[in-house]
Structure 1
Amino acid sequence: MANQWGIPEDVEKFVLIRDKTCVYCGVDFSITHVSRKTKPSWEHIINDIHLSSVDNIALCCTSCNASKGAKKLQEWLKSNYCLSKNINENTVAEVVQNVIRKSISKT
């Protein structure tokens, strides 16, 4: 059974175990956060609701999720938000790096 976002239960469980920090900026989800901006939120790395596998579903902080919005990953990584937070292809989590590698190999 999927949750309210349509993420399959097995994927949700896997991601909750895997992603203990934001897959983009690395903020730690295990500590208590005063700001809503640093709390975890569900993320489609590639903005396609039909791609709900462990390779595309991740946890990121609300701030990164709001900044990325519907932007393509490669486009967002060049944004002022990412530049100001030193978020790039080399600093993101492995699950995101894998998506980047796959997209590069398709071109």
Structure 2
Amino acid sequence: MGNRWGIPKDVETQVRERDLSCVYCGTSFTNSAQTHKTRATWEHIVNDVKLNNSDNIALCCRSCNSSKGSKLLKHWLECPYCLRKGITKDSVATIVEIHLSQNNKI
């Protein structure tokens, strides 16, 4: 096991190398303790903690993670937060686009 969220170390490494900015809004991550907005948080694209592979685990900003919560991705993309931020199925990272095109459960 890798971290306290049960994400295997190899998956954690892959995701950290792939996701240098929020997979939803595109905010670049920093290691600064000054702001929570630019700190990466772990995200299950499909809300299932058993799916701990690099296809379902991503990094997103705290704001997007808090806003999405346990909502289905397709419903979250229609919420006021996404509308205000300009987050759409066409603006998200490739890993999220793949889920949207392949999976009706998200």
- Specify if TM > 0.5: yes
Could you tell me whether the CA contact under 8 Å between 1:20 and 1:30 is conserved in 2? Answer: no
Could you tell me whether the CA contact under 8 Å between 1:37 and 1:62 is conserved in 2? Answer: yes
CA deviation profile, 1:65-86 (whole Å, cap 9, x unmatched): 0000000000000000000000
Could you tell me whether the CA contact under 8 Å between 2:43 and 2:60 is conserved in 1? Answer: yes
- The residue aligned with 1:55 is 55
- The residue aligned with 1:8 is 8
Moved over 6 A (4+): none
Cα 1:10/1:31, change in 2 over 3 Å: closer
Identity of aligned residues (%): 50
Q: CA deviation at 1:38?
A: 2.6
Aligned residue pairs total 105
Tell me, in whole angstroms, the C-alpha distance in 2 between the residues paired with 1:93 and 1:41: 15
**Partner-residue secondary structure (3-state), 2:24:** coil
| TM-score where L is the length of structure 2 | 0.92
Moved more, 34-43 or 15-24: 34-43
**Structure with higher helix content:** 1
- Counterpart AA for 1:7: I
Tell me, in whole angstroms, the C-alpha distance in 1 between the residues paired with 2:34 and 2:87: 22
List gaps (5 residues or longer) in structure 2: none
Q: CA deviation at 1:103?
A: 1.2
Task: State the Cα RMSD in Å.
Answer: 1.6
Q: CA deviation at 1:37?
A: 2.6
**Partner-residue secondary structure (3-state), 2:90:** coil
